[in-house]
Amino acid sequence: KNEVEQSPQNLTAQEGEFITINCSYSVGISALHWLQQHPGGGIVSLFMLSSGKKKHGRLIATINIQEKHSSLHITASHPRDSAVYICAVNYGGATNKLIFGTGTLLAVQP
Amino acid sequence: NAGVTQTPKFQVLKTGQSMTLQCAQDMNHEYMSWYRQDPGMGLRLIHYSVGAGITDQGEVPNGYNVSRSTTEDFPLRLLSAAPSQTSVYFCASSYSSGGRHSSSYEQYFGPGTRLTVT
């Protein structure tokens, strides 16, 4: 069993839809990251969370430490949101080591 | 700031050749890491550094060497390339956003190097 699991693996949505991507983890963590990777592109950090909720534009990330679960929401999705979304966790106390999920491939159709 | 830069963007090697992937950051970050990304797998840590002169192995270190002589640079050396090292390589730098005693690190990734070993 992977220590960081994402669902779904693939997601197709119509423009304007509300999208949710989930991340569950099985280790103790100090922070959780949501990353975005466009096809053939680099990786960009969207959020770093250790508790609660963060919002940036149309993106919202939440984390429930007790349930070891995080969600990334995209409101009013747009084709430019099409990308791979990756969940990663800082684990093991004062360390910068990350464990990554395998990513969710999102395609938003016009 | 240029952020995290990597060179080259693409490279093709023959089995047995050696090469160095370059990584540099201009943000004065103490932490730097090398990851490889393979289809169907999450990014995996190859080597990392917590500061100049200090490096350590990650999850998949075999066949790779690193050094950290300056804060800015963290090159990754492939000693004798093998087809199993065909991958996309990402360098990342990070800092502790909560200060010295925090364990939450903001991550900055380079654009990646796509390596093919034939």
| pLDDT tens digits along B26-83 | 999 989 999 999 988 889 999 999 899 999 999 999 999 999 999 999 999 999 999 9
pLDDT on residue A93: 58
pLDDT on residue B96: 76
Least confidently predicted of A77-86, B11-20, B90-99: B90-99
pLDDT on residue B102: 58
Residues in B touching A100 (Cβ below 8 Å): 42-44
Residue A51 has pLDDT above 70, yes or no: yes
CA distance A76 to chain B (A): 27
pLDDT on residue A47: 94
CA dihedral over B42, A85, A11, A66, signed as positive or negative: positive
Q: Does the beta carbon of A61 lie under 8 angstroms from any beta carbon of chain B?
A: no
Q: Which of A49, A86, A96, A100 to mutate to test the interface with B (most CBs of B within 10 A)?
A: A96
**CB contact (8 A) between residue A95 and residue B103:** yes
Q: Where are the extended beta strands (E) located within B1-118?
A: 4-7, 10-13, 19-25, 31-37, 44-51, 54-57, 64-66, 76-78, 87-96, 105-109, 113-117
**B91-102 pLDDT, tens per residue?**
999 987 665 555
